[in-house]
Amino acid sequence: MPRRPSLNSLRLFMQIAYNRSFSETGRIANVSQPALSRTIRILEEELGVRLFDRNSRNVSLTSAGEALLPIVERLTADFDHAFSELSLTFSGDRGRVVIGTLPSIAASILPPIIASFLALHPQVEIILNDNLSATIYQQMHDRQIDLAIAGAPPDDEIRFDPVMEDTMLFVGPEDSSQELGATVEWSVFATKPFIAMAQRSSVRGLTDRGLQQAGITVTPHFECTQLATVAALIEAGLGVTALPKSTIPMIASRRIVTRPLTGQSIELRLGIAYDANRTMAPAADAFRRHFLAEAGATTR
């Protein structure tokens, strides 16, 4: 059985077959004629056949060479196509990116950024998981997602690039607007039924910190995992809450009013995060860079 030749020697064989000239092929391929002749001689020894008949003026394929040429053409075309496809993956123009994000981000700033990214990288697949902050970072530790777009991570193993500060607002029913001023102190929550987000949410951490700094102990009347539930409870007059400004478009209603909260400096830092100990896929890194550029321009 003949030895398996190298792709380079097969490419040189194909070029000589096309050019019918060793000297012309050597010039085009930037290979000296002695080296080219040696490569073809080794190829013929590996295959156990003569591939060219040549004299001082002519080079022609033997019957073995004629049989080999279409096979080499197919092999090199397949190889070139495979590496052309692979180069798209290496450059970030093809691949899959799994993003974990807060529901408020998924419903506000993220969709137009995804749209502009896909316009530049149409062969990249984007998978979006919206969830609570703690769940998102657990998914990152479990390598279920490539990127997280959320608040600051809980540990140093995750790299975080902040892009914006999300201020906290008082959110209450429409009929409370008459008793409210232009701004509201955190102390208001000591006098009204409080609707809290779930314990594992980033919003819950912010409201707990704001209440603690204000010296207020509040027992939530309701705890919710979904903003839609919070909105429905507020609209029904069952309580008030504090939410980041970015969440308000998700609960926008004529029956809900908002006011800036003052007295305590409580803000949610939002940004994009990734595992610092894991080599990022090119498509994910391309999206990370695009997000930072687009989100930064949006928030300026």
Q: What is the pLDDT of residue 79?
A: 87
Task: Please enumerate in sequence order all residues whose Cβ is within 8 A of that of 65, keeping only pairs 6 or more positions apart, or say none.
Answer: 13, 17, 50, 51, 52
Which whole number is the average pLDDT over 201-222?
90
CA distances from 193 to 173, 176, 206, 216 (A): 12, 13, 18, 13
Q: Which residues pair with 158 in a beta bridge?
A: 275
- Strand 123-130 versus strand 222-224 pairing type: unpaired
Among 47-56, 119-128, 283-292, the minimum mean pLDDT is found in: 47-56
> pLDDT tens-digit profile of 229-252?
999 999 999 999 999 888 888 887
8 A C-beta contact, residue 188 and residue 222: no
- Write out the two tokens for 55: 């004299």
Sign of CA dihedral 217, 223, 224, 228: negative
Q: What is the mean pLDDT of the chain?
A: 89
8 A C-beta contact, residue 104 and residue 247: yes
In order of their start, the domains of the chain are 7-91 (1.10.10.10), 94-162+269-299 (3.40.190.10), 166-268 (3.40.190.10)
Asked whether residue 295 carries a pLDDT value surpassing 60, the answer given is: yes
Which residue, chain included where needed, has tokens 């056949």? 49
Asked whether residue 132 carries a pLDDT value surpassing 90, the answer given is: no
8 A C-beta contact, residue 186 and residue 263: yes
Query: How far apart are the C-alpha atoms of 288 and 146, rounded to whole Å?
Result: 10
Q: How confident is the model at residue 300 (pLDDT cuts 50, 70, 90)?
A: very low
Q: Is 0.75 topped by the overall pTM?
A: no
pLDDT more than 70, % of the chain = 98
Q: Which residues pair with 166 in a beta bridge?
A: 268
Question: Using the 8-state DSSP alphabet, how is residue 91 labeled?
Answer: H
Task: Please enumerate in sequence order all residues whose Cβ is within 8 A of that of 155, keeping only pairs 6 or more positions apart, or say none.
Answer: none
Asked whether residue 299 carries a pLDDT value surpassing 70, the answer given is: no
Sign of CA dihedral 284, 287, 293, 295: negative
Q: What is the pLDDT of residue 84?
A: 79
Task: Please enumerate in sequence order all residues whose Cβ is within 8 A of that of 261, keeping only pairs 6 or more positions apart, or say none.
Answer: 167, 168, 169, 170, 183, 184, 185, 186, 210, 242
Asked whether residue 181 carries a pLDDT value surpassing 90, the answer given is: no
